[in-house]
């Protein structure tokens, strides 16, 4: 079933185009902008409401790779850019805010964690706002940084979450400013409570490395399927859901006997802490 679901998603219409044909028009458009200059592996995301053309750009850390896309869309009337949204304050997510404002030459809200560069608004945990007809909820997920915020968005039946460096396909972020207890809550309580059909858009392309580690801990069909997909696809963002992560992400399976055996722990927080230590040292 897992393999069939993953395969079926490959043939679903991509949401990265702002000029979809009438047969594939969706209210919420998501355009991934890989920022891969040099050794970078970040993603910025342009989210557009089809009806109002209101739009936000998420984590545009490298303006040289993002502003041409935005200027073209603004110029041809495809979008009305209203805000920069940051998932956390690290330079490879929020470091481009100042240059973005200068290059675009228009006032924009900067919505993100309290330590993000030039931030103008930090939504509280559970606070909601909108991008046209798209409903947005801020979910505080402190651990990778203490100001980490994931953004859950819904337009009709379409549900997505932008997870920054908290949740990756098959993995999670390092605990730079937090603990295993905080990451367990972030992944398995806060994000784990989202609808299973919520598509995940992480901040980096780390799937291949995450899957390789995952197979070393839990060589299940689901984890092996993720590894196979990552080997065949350079980009994996948005291709898997929260429900998928619960199956193939070892950091979201503390109840699994094989993971308990691999870590030598049975407590969920101890398992999270041990898994992250193992991943940090994995070659």
Cβ-count burial of 93 within 10 angstroms (0-12 exposed, 13-18 middle, 19+ buried)? buried
Catalytic residue among 90, 140, 169, 248: 90
* Rounded (5°) CA angle 213-59-202: 25
Q: Count CB atoms within 10 A of the CB of residue 234.
A: 10
DSSP one-letter string for 8-73: HHHTSPPS--SS--GGG--SEEEEEEEE-STT--EEEEEEEETTT-EEEEE----HHHHHHHHHHH
Catalytic residue among 140, 204, 244, 248: 204
Catalytic residue among 88, 140, 169, 248: 88
Catalytic residue among 92, 115, 158, 267: 92
Identify the three-state secondary structure at position 121.
strand
Catalytic residue among 140, 144, 169, 248: 144
| Catalytic status, residue 248 | no
| Catalytic status, residue 140 | no
| Catalytic status, residue 144 | yes
Q: Report yes or no: 27 and 49 within 8 Å, Cβ to Cβ.
A: yes
d(CA 145, CA 122): 15
Catalytic residue among 49, 59, 155, 165: 165
Catalytic residue among 93, 169, 184, 248: 93
Q: Count CB atoms within 10 A of the CB of residue 58.
A: 25
| Catalytic status, residue 49 | no
| Catalytic status, residue 92 | yes
The residues annotated as belonging to the active site are: 88, 90, 92-93, 144, 165, 204
């Amino acid at each position: 079933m897992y393999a069939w679901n993953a395969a079926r998603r490959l043939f679903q219409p991509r949401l990265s185009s702002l000029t979809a044909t009438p047969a594939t028009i969706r209210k919420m458009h998501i355009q991934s902008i890989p920022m891969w200059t040099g050794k970078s592996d970040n993603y910025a995301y342009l989210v557009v409401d089809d009806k109002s053309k209101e739009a936000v750009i998420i984590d545009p850390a490298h303006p040289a790779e993002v502003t041409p896309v935005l200027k073209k869309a603004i110029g041809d009337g495809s979008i009305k850019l209203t805000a920069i949204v940051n998932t956390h304050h690290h330079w490879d997510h929020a470091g481009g805010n100042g240059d973005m404002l200068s290059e675009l030459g228009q006032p924009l809200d900067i919505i993100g964690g309290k330590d993000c560069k030039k931030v103008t608004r930090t939504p509280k945990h559970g606070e909601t706002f909108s991008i046209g007809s798209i409903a947005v909820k801020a979910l505080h997920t402190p651990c990778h940084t203490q100001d980490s915020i994931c953004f859950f968005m819904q337009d009709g039946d379409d549900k997505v979450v932008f997870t920054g460096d908290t949740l990756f396909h098959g993995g999670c972020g390092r605990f730079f400013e937090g603990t295993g207890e905080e990451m367990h809550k972030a992944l398995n309580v806060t994000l784990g409570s989202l609808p299973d059909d919520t598509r995940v858009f992480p901040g980096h392309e780390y799937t291949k490395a995450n899957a390789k580690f995952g197979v070393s801990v839990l060589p299940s069909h689901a984890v092996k399927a993720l590894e196979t997909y990552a080997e065949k696809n350079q980009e994996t963002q948005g291709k898997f859901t929260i429900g998928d992560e619960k199956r193939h992400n070892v950091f979201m399976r503390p109840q699994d006997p094989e993971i308990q055996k691999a870590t030598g722990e049975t407590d969920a927080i101890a398992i999270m802490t041990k898994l992250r230590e193992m991943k940090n040292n994995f070659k």
